[in-house]
Chain A
Amino acid sequence: MVKKVLNFLQVGVLATSSYVTSIVVLLIIIFLFNEGAGVFTKSLLEEGFVIAVNKSNKLNAISPKDIKNIFDQKITNWKQIGGDDNAITLFSIDELPNFYTEEEIGSDFEYMDTCINNYIANHPNVLAYFPERNVAKNFQGKMIKVGTLGVFEFVKGKEWLPTARPVAQLGILPLLLGTLMVSLGAILLALPFGLVTAIYMAEIAHPVARKVLRPIIELLAGIPSVVYGFFGLIIVVPIVQKVFSLDVGETALAGSIVLAIMALPTIISIAEDAIRNVPNNMREASLALGATQWQTIRSVVIPYSKSGIMTGAILGIGRAIGETMAVLMVTGNASNMPTTFLQPVRTIPATIAAELGETANGGLHYSALFALGCILFLATMALNLYVQLALKKRNR
């Protein structure tokens, strides 16, 4: 009887802990996506501010992009965005003293609301940008709706200016490209070195040499990433700067080099295992036909372990894509569109790490960073899924 209860309890504890773990993981993912979705529902206008026009204006809503262009003076006439053919008069609260005297505004700004109201009422072509608390009670203008961010604009937008006024620019294309460039560069650098090392250790090295090499390479995986970043900043960045005679050495290339070193242990150990798993009778069959060791490696061993080598490479990329600290320290973090490897770039994880501290909890910027996190999660999940499918296929 006691034994039965005890057994039941043991099973209960084991089951509970595994269910709790799974539920926590699911909750974290739900939290991530829930917060991230906010970026598509929140207004892009700076919080606490409004945009208004004269009542006679036909327009009721203006897209965030058009507002930015108007304030950048790229759009100067209402007809460019579907209004009447009149030049746009921009008005923001800082300019109030240019139009009204101190007496009219009042010594304590008590008549400021009225002044803004009058200004908008008297200027038919105005586009006014001012704080919500300065909206007069008998406001005679018309509030303009600023649209929300579309998924398409989010992914395709070329500007990442989350704190821009009056509307934030949340285009993640430069960050996406930055991440892809750094990761791709890393894998292009790491794969040849990793493969050569794995082949040497699995096929050629004396067992003693292998016993020395393998722990050293595995040690690489244990170095904290901030140390890699430090190493990159002190050694790699100046070298890149010197070799390519650049103004700044903090570039995508520097990030790729540091990430390549970090991805090497993963690639080497997985590729080496794959190569060692090639049945010996494959090697014997090849050698017995008069093939040299190199021919055997090239024509039999590598093709046979191809999927394992690919797995190593993809897990290496997965690590590179998610890596934050080291990349943050060496890539320069400029969020402009990258065109070459010799430019500063900013990756998605680095953006999140660098900016999350300055955002208001629950604000637009905050949601945007969570949305970036979602994209990162989806990317690494896709890579992991691919690896698992590939492994399954190989085991069959």
Chain B
Amino acid sequence: MAQIETKNVDFYYGAVQALRNINLPIEHNTVTAFIGPSGCGKSTLLRLFNRMNDLIDGCRLDGSVEINGQNIYGKGVNVEELRKQVGMVFQKPNPFPKSIFENVAYGLRVNGVKSKSEIEDRVEASLIRSALWTEVKDKLNRSALQLSGGQQQRLCIARALAVEPSILLMDEPASALDPISTSKIEELIFELKKNFTIVIVTHSMQQAGRVSDKTAFFYMGEMVEYDSTTNIFTNPKQERTLNYVTGRFG
């Protein structure tokens, strides 16, 4: 069974329809890339998976989004519990203006973890997982804002990992970073795939090609094609996909 499955999803911002009839199953422990030109709805779809779009006034969803078989837009769903299951990393690194340690510990604290030693252990484990530990282990009490952009983004990944989600959503996680930081993030994604289901929105075709197992191409709110990454880039069935991945438009 797919871990995430959207069924007949239509999504509206007020009168504007942002997504049209999306049916998309995402498997356990895979990396799925969403590609497409700006405004195609890929970020909107990603933010449906942890109900981040709830924050926007006047939006409306038809159809259902199921995670582990449960409709997350159904009645009685605890949004906070859902977001613990579905972590998110944003386009621009957004660490809190707190210390490095407190940034990672934040998710644990808001979820009621009180034990100091447990928090310390999980902060360390998360930083190790996000490949940041060796760089910051001696300055955990320094402000996170002193880190470089790439380090900040890995800190944000560590912060998301600390609450132990099963799914990790990444909204163009490397678009604000330099090539070296980008390659570190990509290595990290490759590593994390073993334990997490990752959905990544990206503008970079190369990145999608490098990190993902499956790729979905979106255009004007529709999912044009969804297939293994190899097929999408080498043997797309749709002409629009071909045009996009070969750089003829977009």
In chain A, positions 274-292 with a C-beta closer than 8 Å to chain B are 279, 281-292
Known contacts: A285-B90, A300-B96. The answer to whether A290 contacts B81 by CB under 8 A is yes
Contact of B110 (CB < 8 Å), options: A279, A282, A283, A292: A292
Chain B residues with a Cβ closer than 8 Å to the other chain, count:
26
Does chain A have a CB within 8 A of B1? no
**Which of B30-38, B156-164, B214-222 contacts the other chain?**
B156-164
Q: Are B110 and A288 in contact (CB under 8 A)?
A: no
Given the complex, which residues of B lie within 8 Å of A288, measured CB to CB? Answer: 50, 52, 83, 87-88, 90, 160
Q: Is the CB of B87 within 8 A of A281?
A: no
- B204 proximal to A (CB < 8 A): no
Which residues from chain B contact A299 at a C-beta distance below 8 Å? 106, 109-110
Return the contact of A284 from the options B52, B57, B107, B159 (Cβ within 8 A).
Answer: B52
List CB contacts (< 8 Å) of B81-138 with chain A.
Answer: 81, 83-84, 87-88, 90, 92, 94-98, 106-107, 109-111
Whether B87 contacts A289 by the Cβ 8 Å rule is yes
A285 — nearest CB in chain B belongs to which residue?
B94
Residues of B within 8 A of A283 (CB): 55
A287 to B86, CA, bound (A): 11
Q: 1/0 per position for B6-29, CB-CB distance to A under 8 A? A: 000000000000000000000000
- Residues in A with CB closer than 8 Å to B90 are 281, 284-285, 288
Q: Does A207 contact B (CB under 8 A)?
A: yes
Q: How far is the CA of A358 from the CA of B134 in the complex (A)?
A: 76
The residue in chain B whose Cβ has the minimal distance to the Cβ of A292 is: B80
Q: Does A304 contact B (CB under 8 A)?
A: yes
Note all chain B residues with C-beta closer than 8 A to A291. Answer: 80, 106-107, 110
Chain A: CB-nearest residue to B51 = A287
Q: How far, in Å, is A134 (CB) from chain B's closest CB?
A: 76
- B94 and A290 within 8 A (CB): no
In the bound complex, CA of A285 to CA of B80 (Å): 13
Find the A residue at minimum CB distance from B110: A291
Q: Is chain A's interface secondary structure helix, strand, loop, or mixed overall?
A: helix
A295 interface hit (Cβ, 8 Å): yes
* Interface membership of A192, Cβ < 8 A: no
Q: Which residue from B87, B97, B110 sits with its C-beta under 8 Å from A286? A: B110
Taking a contact as CB atoms under 8 Å apart, the answer to whether B96 and A289 are in contact is no
CB-based contact B92/A281 at 8 Å = yes
**A131 at interface, CB cutoff 8 A:** no
CB distance from B167 to the nearest CB of A (A): 12
A290-314 contact mask (Cβ, 8 Å, vs B): 1 or 0: 1110010001100110000000000
CA distance A290 to B167 in the complex (A): 13
Q: In the complex, what residue of chain A is closest to B84 when comparing beta carbons?
A: A290
Q: Shortest beta-carbon distance, A96 to chain B, in Å? A: 79
Is the CB–CB distance between A289 and B97 below 8 Å?
no
Contact B80 A290 (CB under 8 A): yes
**C-alpha gap A281/B90 in the complex (Å):** 8
Which residues of chain A are within 8 angstroms of B81 by Cβ–Cβ distance? Answer: 290
A277 CB to nearest chain B CB (Å): 13
**A289, B94: Cβ atoms under 8 Å?**
no
B183 to chain A, nearest CB (A): 24
B83, B97, B156: which contacts A290 (Cβ < 8 A)?
B83
Q: Closest B-chain residue to A206, C-beta based?
A: B57
**Residues of A contacting B83 with CB < 8 Å?**
287-290
Q: Which residue of B lies closest to A296 (CB)?
A: B110
Q: Is the CB of A289 within 8 A of B92?
A: no
Contacts of A284 in B (CB 8 A): 52, 55, 88, 90, 94
Chain A residues with CB under 8 A of B94: 279, 281-282, 284-285
| Complex CA distance for A64 and B34, rounded to whole angstroms | 87
User: How far is it, in angstroms, between the C-alpha of A282 and the C-alpha of B145 when the chains are bound?
Assistant: 13
Q: Which residues of A contact B111 (CB under 8 A)?
A: 289-290
Q: Are A290 and B107 in contact (CB under 8 A)?
A: yes
Q: Which residues of A contact B109 (CB under 8 A)?
A: 299
Interface residues of A in 48-107 (CB under 8 A from B): none
Q: Which residue of A lies closest to B106 (CB)?
A: A289
Select A289's contact among B95, B98, B107, beta carbons within 8 Å: B107
Contact assessment for A295 and B87 in the assembled complex, using a CB-CB cutoff below 8 Å: no
With A and B bound together, what is the CA distance between A284 and B81 in angstroms? 15
Contact residues in B for A292 (Cβ distance below 8 Å): 80, 110
**Least CB distance, B174 to chain A, in whole angstroms:** 16
Assuming the contacts A281-B90, A284-B94, A295-B110, asked whether A290 and B55 have C-beta atoms less than 8 A apart, the reply is no
Residues of A contacting B160 in the complex (Cβ-Cβ under 8 angstroms): 288-289
B163 and A282 contacting across the interface, CB-CB below 8 Å = no
Q: How far is the CA of A207 from the CA of B58 in the complex (A)?
A: 12
- On chain B, the residues within 8 Å of A289 by CB distance are 83-84, 87, 106-107, 110-111, 159-160, 163
A206 → chain B closest CB, angstroms:
8
A303 to B143, CA, bound (A): 14
Q: Which residues of chain A have C-beta atoms less than 8 A from B107's C-beta?
A: 289-291
| Pairwise interchain contact A304-B106, C-beta atoms closer than 8 A | no
A205 to chain B, nearest CB (A): 12
Contact indicator per residue, chain B 68-83, by CB within 8 Å of chain A (1) or not (0): 0000000000001101
Residues of chain A within 8 A (CB-CB) of B87 are 288-289
Q: How far is the CA of A295 from the CA of B112 in the complex (A)?
A: 11
* Most interface-central of A286, A290, A292 (chain B CB within 10 A): A290
B143 CB to closest chain A CB (Å) equals 13
Query: Can you name 18 A-B residue pairings with CB atoms under 8 Å?
Result: A281-B90, A284-B88, A285-B90, A285-B156, A285-B159, A286-B96, A286-B110, A288-B88, A289-B83, A289-B84, A290-B80, A290-B84, A290-B107, A290-B111, A291-B80, A291-B106, A299-B106, A303-B97
Taking A281-B92, A288-B90, A290-B81 as given, write out 11 further A-B residue pairs in contact, using a Cβ cutoff of 8 Å, ordered by the A residue number. Answer: A279-B94, A281-B90, A281-B94, A284-B52, A284-B88, A284-B94, A285-B156, A289-B107, A289-B111, A290-B80, A291-B106
Q: Which 9 pairs from chain A and chain B are nearest by CB? A: A289-B107, A290-B84, A291-B110, A281-B94, A288-B88, A290-B83, A295-B110, A290-B80, A285-B94
